[in-house]
Amino acid sequence: MSRHANLTNIFYVYVENKYLDKSEGLTEAIWHGVFAREGEVLLTHLLLETGAHWTGVPLHGIHHKTSFIPKKSGQLQPWGNMGINIDVTNLNHLEGIDVNYFKENLNGLSTGIIIDWYDGFSKFPQQHKPLHLVSMEDGNYYLLPNNYLRWNDPSFTNEKLWEKCKNYKRGSEVWFPENKTNRWGIMKDPNEIVKIEKAIAQKYGEDTIANPKHYWNEDKEKEYLSQLKELSKEEIKDRENNQKIDVNGVFISKKLLSKESNRSCPVCHIYSFDSNDDLYMNRYQCCKKCYIQWVEGREDRWKTGWRPNENNSKSWRAKKNNSRRME
């Protein structure tokens, strides 16, 4: 199995440029494949008219006409990807049939394609929801389960019987051959699990049995990633602040050396990349080498304000630069 799959048919689509280079407008493309990350929306493989191949534009970033109505990902695909092992199948009889997304009162055409997963929710058959790929009148592609759609085949379906569908309930029983056992050879009734699930839902509410991914959306994902970034920045900052630096044989906390430190030495005007210079910058307003050259043993003179003249500084600066190039 694979997280990538070919579509059974190719589709000529329009891609929003904001998903390509953050610009406005649309780019024509051939949509020929899909891939999935569990819990997210379906992602696409596209051959762009520019000659590039693009992987990762989400379902809500492609459209079958230029006059589309923008929609959020959760509106086009109310159920996230139910795994990473994706399966794409074409149900020939459904291709081209009129459908109505009755919850939103939208009409469209079935592409005949259903997308399913071998893992994730499909491990629990009563939660299994293969999704139909539908081309809607608002210019978008939708991925919807059976119980969101009304089908209209003029040669067969009877509009007068639609009311009966209101009494249909999601199948919750799991059917096995007789004497079905689990891997340990112990008989187990899968319908008992469903009964327990129903009892929990009746007592504590539907939220207690719902998969958490059902309530996850793009905005929550962005907020979560933003929080992770902030947490990572704090952790990096803490590690840097707690880092000890050897200054002439003495280990000093880096945060004591880096508070508002000026990285250019006021005496030689050379930018310092050495954190050891911070100690001398803070105390003597010069780098370590300038301290050795001009201050060491003459601290009292330095404190009174004495500084080397410009000629001495230039000569010393040239000597330091030559020394750095040789290091």
Phi, psi at residue 140, to the nearest 5°? Answer: -105, 160
Instruction: Find out whether 119 and 36 touch, Cβ atoms under 8 Å.
Output: no
| pLDDT category of residue 246 using cuts at 50, 70 and 90 | low
The string of pLDDT tens digits covering residues 310-324 is: 777 677 767 665 555
Shortest CA distance to 47 belongs to which of 61, 60, 30? 30
pTM (two decimals) = 0.55
Per-residue pLDDT at 179 exceeds 60:
no
Rounded distance, CA 142 to CA 132, Å?
A: 8
Strands annotated E in 17-102:
26-35, 43-48, 53-58, 62-63, 86-90, 98-101
Domain chopping of the chain, boundaries: 4-167, 244-326
Q: Which two three-digit tokens encode residue 121?
A: 């929710």
- Least confident range of 152-166, 251-265, 267-281, 287-301: 251-265
Q: Could you say which DSSP state residue 111 is in?
A: E
Per-residue pLDDT at 163 exceeds 50:
yes
The string of pLDDT tens digits covering residues 25-62 is: 999 999 999 998 888 899 999 999 999 999 999 999 99
pLDDT for position 325: 46
Q: Give the side-chain half-sphere CA count within 13 A for 167.
A: 4
Q: Which two three-digit tokens encode residue 93?
A: 């009889």
Percent of the chain with pLDDT over 70: 77
Average pLDDT, the chain: 81
| pLDDT category of residue 250 using cuts at 50, 70 and 90 | low
